[in-house]
């Protein structure tokens, strides 16, 4: 009582091949003829019998720098007005703390969508030319 047993037929003896007609004799489960039926036979990975293999047929053209590309999160001026007070310094860390920019490697660029009603200092961020005009018009500065 209390013993766990494998179900009937779960444990089977290993089939020994190539030891006469009583086992898997003659071709030993490898089929009749051909390269894979012989000892030492077989082909390397990707070999297609002499046909030009797929990895050589597929075109590999051009160069992509996408692995090293930097994505910028767009931050509008009206979003900055809503989330920062007069005299605040807007940095990447401040934008992350406010939840406006997410991600470890994320960068931000400020665009001139909306109106800026507060004097803020932009520090260490990319800013579009039209956003620079609006920030300076509101009394802010860019470092």
35 alpha-carbon distance from chain centroid: 40
Q: How confident is the model at residue 103 (pLDDT cuts 50, 70, 90)?
A: confident
Q: How many Cα atoms are found within 13 Å in the side-chain-facing hemisphere of 101?
A: 23
Structure pTM? Answer: 0.54
Cross-sheet strand order for the sheet of 89-90? 89-90, 121-122, 141-142
Opening angle at CA 95, ends 92 and 100, nearest 5: 130
Residue among 101, 42, 98 at smallest CA distance from 73: 101
- Domains (range + CATH), the chain: 72-142 (3.100.10.10)
Whole-angstrom Cα distance, residue 9 to residue 25?
23
pLDDT-derived band at 24, boundaries 50, 70, 90: confident
């Amino acid at each position: 009582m209390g013993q766990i047993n494998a179900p009937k037929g779960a444990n089977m003896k290993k089939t020994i091949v190539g030891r006469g007609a009583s086992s898997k004799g003659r071709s030993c489960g490898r089929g009749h003829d051909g390269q894979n039926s012989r000892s030492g036979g077989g082909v390397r990975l990707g070999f297609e019998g002499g046909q030009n293999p797929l990895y050589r047929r597929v075109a590999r053209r051009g160069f992509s720098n996408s692995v090293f590309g930097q994505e910028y999160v767009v931050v509008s001026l009206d979003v900055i007005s809503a989330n920062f007070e007069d005299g605040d310094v807007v940095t990447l860390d401040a934008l992350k703390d406010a939840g406006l920019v997410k991600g470890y490697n994320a960068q931000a660029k400020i665009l001139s969508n909306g109106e800026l009603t507060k004097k803020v200092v932009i520090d260490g961020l990319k800013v579009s030319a039209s956003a620079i005009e609006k920030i300076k018009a509101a009394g802010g500065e860019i470092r």
